Chains A and B, each alone.
Chain A
């Protein structure tokens, strides 16, 4: 090993980065959360956060994030499971991942057209005899688009952990007389639970903090924590309140990460979690 004692010079930029862009921003957010509009020290922002308006917003943000995560798991699990059984599974997996590399805004924009009053979704509804519906700017469209965007991030970690299961275990379970369902419930599911956990982690936190989709797809029907932060920082210019919400979002994030356990290596990282 080189350099047992002296700190080599080439580490300097990395440490400067940690101080300037990891520690300082968090410290600044915490500091600003105690400031009012005039820049004086106050606890008002925190009092505000627990007032009914913000409390309700937080609850609804959690509800939507839960809904999005839950539906994503429901759709992604069978997808991942059956993908592991295909012949060229890595290629199929790549095909699942490719849409996640397409810019989020373009996907959201596509849905503005699809869910529009004259778009294909409404044409389908009219084909079945119902009148044109307002789909855009509803909470349905918000959840749909969010699930659409997060599916690859959910499939990838679940696929990876399912793929790691030793097939001998499944054969053994069958030989011992377990039905297919029992094998799934008692063998496959527990062994792949880590993949589900990292998928939940990769979806739930971004779902709390989404603001592009809320603006473009949900109109102002849905306000997530992320939308509220963006609103406070860029529209109302109340950085203090924005920072307070950010502090809570960070806290929620830490709690969720503790609940879902250590991130599986190579899980969500390979796709993009933004």
Chain B
């Protein structure tokens, strides 16, 4: 392995600096007692206090977490069953058709998902709010779960199922005691991704949320449009720490369990 030349090192350092500077800039000014993001006056926790004293904001955080957990759980359940269904489709054409339909929502821009779901909910008569947001999040998370679970199913040898059948296992037993334990890493990866997609989503939620309901992203958007408030900085520092914890936790969990989905793709 060739050692990195000096210009290469400087270049990489620069890229890392530019990538992280804005994030640390935000966090740095969350401790500023002055009201702006320029000119640091004094160190203060007051903006963090403001976050924890704002009941409305806390309710929004709670909403966001509830939507994320529920949508991740439900989409994982539907996605896992869907992936198992796709694997057992014998007809090749049919399987490819289902797989293409599965990727539609992954590749579609958020605006289109949001706009089309808005039309859908209005036509069906669903009131915009918690229900429409939750259903949308479930809908756009399902294909990701399927994608994360499919490779695990593909690598599972069918003789495992044959053996279970020969030993007299019922269909239900095969599902719960052979297939699901085998694909568990894929299920966790799917669940985790669904969780982060939901937490991270702004555009789709922005379209399908009514007046009375907001998730954190939507709230931050309206706060940011109104101008700079250091409450957002404090909030983003908290979000950064939580995100970092989640990602690193997931990374090391994956490293330990030997699966490498989620960070770098498959290695040769």
Contacts and interface: CB of A to CB of B under 8 A. Distances in A.
A109 B109 contact: no
Interface residues of B, number: 93
Contacts of A98: 243-244, 247
Nearest to A233: B115
A112 B228 contact: yes
B262 interface: yes
B242 to A, nearest CB: 10
A233 B207 contact: yes
Interface string B155-172: 000100110010000010
A205 B109 contact: yes
Contact of B88 (A2, A14, A21, A94): A2
A75 interface: yes
Contact of A3 (B88, B105, B267): B88
A249 B115 CA distance: 12
A212 interface: yes
Contacts of A2: 88, 161, 165, 171, 174
Given A18-B101, A215-B225, A274 B200 contact: yes
Contacts of B165: 2
Nearest to B79: A14
Interface string A26-49: 101100100000000000000000
Contacts of A10: 81, 84-85, 175
Contacts of B196: 101, 272
A2 B87 CA distance: 11
Interface in B1-37: 1-2, 4, 8, 11-12, 15-16, 18-20, 22-23, 25-26, 29, 36-37
A160 B265 contact: yes
Interface stretch (B43-51, B53-61, B65-73, B117-125): B117-125
Given A163-B267, A270-B265, A274-B201, A105 B101 contact: no
A113 B85 contact: no
B78 A17 contact: yes
Given A2-B174, A25-B120, A233-B115, A14 B78 contact: yes
Task: With a 10 A CB-CB cut-off, give which of B12, B115, B144 has the most chain A CB atoms.
Answer: B115
B203 interface: yes
A148 interface: yes
Given A11-B81, A85-B4, A118-B38, A28 B116 contact: yes
A114 B117 CA distance: 35
Contact of A253 (B4, B20, B22, B107): B107
A17 B84 contact: no
B114 to A, nearest CB: 8
A208 interface: yes
B200 A101 contact: yes
A93 B263 contact: yes
Majority SS at the chain A contact face: helix
Interface string A230-264: 10011000010011001001100100010000000
Contacts of A156: 264-265
Contacts of B259: none
Contacts of A148: 18-19, 22
Contact of B22 (A15, A92, A110, A257): A110
* 4 tightest A-B CB contacts, nearest first: A14-B82, A266-B265, A113-B37, A25-B116
29 contacts: A1-B90, A2-B165, A15-B85, A20-B139, A29-B112, A29-B119, A79-B12, A90-B263, A101-B246, A103-B200, A103-B216, A105-B202, A105-B220, A107-B23, A109-B220, A111-B22, A112-B224, A114-B25, A114-B37, A116-B37, A116-B38, A119-B38, A156-B264, A230-B207, A233-B115, A249-B109, A250-B112, A265-B266, A269-B106
Given A1-B88, A8-B171, 14 more contacts: A22-B104, A25-B113, A85-B4, A94-B251, A101-B200, A101-B247, A102-B23, A110-B22, A113-B26, A113-B36, A211-B203, A215-B225, A230-B111, A274-B203
